[in-house]
Structure 1
Amino acid sequence: MGDFGEDVAAAYLEEDAMTLLARNWRCREGELDLIALDGDAVVFVEVKTRRGQGFGAPAEAVTVAKARRLRRLAARWLSEQSWSAGEVRLDVIGVVVTDDTAYVEHYEGAV
C-alpha cells in the first residue's frame, strides 16, 4: 500500500511540473519518501497512504516528532549533496485509496 501511494504521489508531482531527485532516500536516522525540485526549491515530501478516511486524513499521521525527524533528514540530505537550494520546503502528500480511485491531498510547507 505504501509503495502504491508513493507511486501515485510521484506521478502527481511530475504532473505538477516538479522533477524527482530521489525516492526512498535512507540513512541510519530514517528515510525520506520523495525529494523533488520545484523551480529552485528543494521539496522533501512525506507520503501517507490510507484506505478510506476511517482513521482520519492521511496527513494527520505526521506527528510533531515525525516532523522534527523529517527536518533533520532534510538537513542531512542537503549537507551530503552539498546542495545550495534557493528554498527548502517540507510537504505532505496524503493518498486516500477507495475501491477504484486514489485521491491526492497535497499540503505544501506543512512541516
Structure 2
Amino acid sequence: MRWDAVAVMPMTAGLAALDRMRLDAQSGHPVLADHLRGELYVLVPPRTFPRVEVPGVRVLSSGIHLVLPRTADGSETADWLSAPRGERPPLVRADRLARHLQALLDDRREVAAR
C-alpha cells in the first residue's frame, strides 16, 4: 500500500484538525504520534496533499523513511493514535485535512488580531 505522511507540529494542531474532521481513534485511519518530536503523522493517498503554507506542516513522500510501530500498542516514543485496520486501511482525505489545518491557522490569526 502506498501513502504519503503529513507531518504536523505541534501534535495538538493535527489533533484539532482531525477532531474537526470527526475522525476518532476507532476510525481505522492511520494516525501516528511521535512523542519525541511532538509531531503527528497522518497517512494520506500519495501525491494528493495540496500545496498550502501552514507553519509546522510538511509532506513526507517517496524516498523518505518513516519508522512505524509493529503493534497497535506502540511504545513510549511513538504509537498509533488510530491504528490501521486490515491490509488496506482507509487513508485520510488530504484535501479535507489541508482545509481544516488552514482553518485552524486562520482562526489563530483572527484571535491574535483582536
**Category of TM-score, reference length = shorter chain:** 0.3 to 0.5
TM-score computed with the length of structure 2 as normaliser: 0.36
Higher relative contact order (Cα pairs below 8 Å, separated by 6+ residues)? 2
Structure with the higher fraction of residues in helix conformation? 1
TM-score computed with the length of structure 1 as normaliser: 0.36
Structure with the higher fraction of residues in strand conformation? 1
